[in-house]
Structure 1
Amino acid sequence: ERRLRAARLAGLQQVPVLIRTGEETDLMKLELAIIENIQREDLSPVDRARAFDRLVKEFNFKHHEIGKKVGKSREYVSNSLRILSLPEYIINALSENKLTEGHTRPLMMLIDRPQEQETLFKEILAKKLNVREAESIARHIAVERARKLIDQELIDIEDLFKEKLGTRVRIEKKEEGGRVTIDFFNKEDLRALLERIVADEKVNHSQIEISVENTSSLTDEEEVLIEDQTSKSEDDESLYSVTNFSI
């Protein structure tokens, strides 16, 4: 029907057609309809991937067989199907044209690291990263992860930071000391990070006060010991207080 309308718009009087008769089954008709739909130029990457997926699951087609039917390579079909392995929120964003099909490649590089994948996704939207910039970030994450495999403790600490702060955190270890990098996307994110850090500091301080208040029944020697420990804790707390650091 679409081709008939197109022929009329083009002013054609005759067009070549292939008429199929009753030997077709309903399944064959469905297959032809799906394949014809795939070849539409305005088909979204997600709809195309879902159509390929139907051909695989309902018709047991191999990737190279689908490629032959639609005039594409096996790799093209396989890469399209990989889109469906992404989280639903990324698939929805792709359907809504909030990111391009090219952006899915760096996101799929982090398929086994959901936190970093989500952070990169947010970064693509917030900073309007192009595909090359997103791929550069994804490769950097992969390289850093491989390098840190020799120091599991560093990875564990980094993961704790990410879980606590809800954003990407990178720890770079040097011969002496190192550097901690915390990603944020806007002023609201930065303020939320600061509030989390300050809230933790207040919790720790209140715990110290509670422990001091419960010393009324102790002996003089025990009170002196508690005071010494409390003083040391306060000194340590002051040393690592957020007020002693600059951003």
Structure 2
Amino acid sequence: MSKGLGRGLDSLIPTSPLVERTIGLKPADITEINVEKVSPNPNQPRYTFDEESLKELASSIKEHGVIQPLIVTKKGAEYELIAGERRLRAAKIAGLKTVPVVVRTYSEQQKLEVSIIENIQRHDLNPLEEAMAYQRLVDDFNLTQEEVAQKMGRSRSAIANTLRLLNLPIEIKRGLVDGKITEGHARAILAIPEPAKQLALYEQIVSQKLNVRSVEEKAKVITTKQSTEVSKTFSDLESKLRDAIGSKIKIQPSKKGGKIIIEYYGEEELERIINLFD
């Protein structure tokens, strides 16, 4: 199993081509079934499959067969695929009539967990697919980020950072999926709170082929400038309020609002300020 991935799920998913050794399978545990009796996993976290890569795998399968069995669950008279969709697709391209499978019984949550782990181990998910898969665990099974992290064998901050990719504008998400930018670029863009400025930086990355370090530096300049502009705006407002009320004013902004603090020095001054609002 890839280092740091899927601790606690070792019993659910094979982790190397030599499945028999890895999870103690005997030949009797593996059965051959007709490829047409295996339906795709509706919870498959992977949405894109590289055609050229599938052809290469199909060529290998023609010569060596499917070395690692697929994982399936029984569904009536047929089977639902849990892990191994790329192998199944390649096997069909190679013209195989049957594929080796291991039949397991899983809850719906376990099905999704196994699919995510298998794809992450093989580096088959792009960053956005990975983020959407984690979000489904949160939404569909009411898991916290901490619980997702424990199940995936990752830190909570790693899960949180991956989920943040879902907050990017759609154009940047497309660029990430299409390989126009890397996950490192995307994380640097997320340092900028305004979507319009995120898009402007994204366009710079694509047109100028900027590396991640350059993008991080540009994002820092943008956020520093923005912070300075915001500070000046509040400073100007404080001055206007001070002139209007005649007392020292402090504005403390927050994400969902903020506070306006009016200082006074004695009961008479407090009475005067109160009378201003009568």
- The alignment's TM-score, normalised by the length of structure 2, stands at 0.46
Encode CA deviations 1:25-82: one digit per residue, 9 max, x unaligned. 3443344333433433232111111111111111111112211222211110000000
Q: Is the 8 A contact 2:127 2:183 kept in 1?
A: yes
Q: CA deviation at 1:93?
A: 0.5
Q: Which of these residues, 208, 212, 225, is aligned with residue 131 of structure 1?
A: 212
Which one has a larger percent helix, Structure 1 or Structure 2?
1
What's 1:55 paired with?
Answer: 137
Provide, for residues 172-212 of structure 1, a one-character-per-residue CA deviation record: whole Å limited to 9, x for no partner: xxxxxxxxxxxxxxxxxxxxxxxxxxxxxxxxxxxxxxxxx
Of residues 90, 107, 110 in structure 2, which corresponds to 1:25? 107
Pairwise CA distance, 1:135: 0.9
- From 165, 168, 176, the counterpart of 1:83: 165
Q: Which of 7, 11, 23 is the equivalent residue of 1:16?
A: 23
For 2:164 and 2:16, the matched residues in 1 are separated by: 35
The question of whether the paired residues in 2 share the 8 Å contact of 1:86 and 1:108 is answered with yes
Return closer, same or farther for 1:36/1:59 CA change in 2, 3 Å cut-off.
Answer: farther
Distance 1:150 1:29 in 2: 50
Mapped partners of 1:109, 1:44: distance in 2: 21
Question: Which ranges of structure 2 fall in alignment gaps of 5 or more residues?
Answer: 1-12, 30-101, 234-278
1:5 Cα deviation from its structure 2 partner: 8.8
The match for 1:67 is 149
Q: Quick one: which of 197, 201, 219 aligns to 1:120? A: 201
Q: Which amino acid aligns with 1:140?
A: V
Encode CA deviations 1:132-190: one digit per residue, 9 max, x unaligned.
111111111111122233544xxxxxxxxxxxxxxxxxxxxxxxxxxxxxxxxxxxxxx
Superposition pairs of residues 106-185 of structure 1, within 5 angstroms = 106-111=188-193, 113-149=194-230, 151-152=232-233
User: CA 1:21/1:130 → structure 2, altered by over 3 Å: closer, same or farther?
Assistant: closer
The answer as to 2:98 corresponding to 1:98 is no
SS in 2 for 1:6: coil
Please, what is the CA RMSD of the aligned residues? 3.0
Distance 1:6 1:135, change over 3 A: same
Higher strand share: 2
After TM superposition, the structure 1 stretch with the greater mean CA deviation from structure 2, 59-68 or 47-56, is: 59-68
Cα distance between partner residues in 1 of 2:21 and 2:191: 50
Structure 1 pair 92/147, CA: closer, same or farther in 2 (3 Å)?
A: same
State how many pairs are aligned: 147
CA contact (8 A) 2:169 2:199 kept: no
Provide structure 1 residue ranges, at least 5 long, that are not aligned to the other structure.
Answer: 153-247
Give the TM-score of the pair, scaled to structure 1: 0.52
- Contact 1:35–1:69, Cα closer than 8 Å, also in 2: no
Structure 1 pair 22–76 and aligned structure 2 pair: CA distance change class (3 A): closer
Distance in 2 of aligned mates of 1:80 and 1:114: 18
Distance in 1 (alpha carbons) for counterparts of 2:15 and 2:143: 30
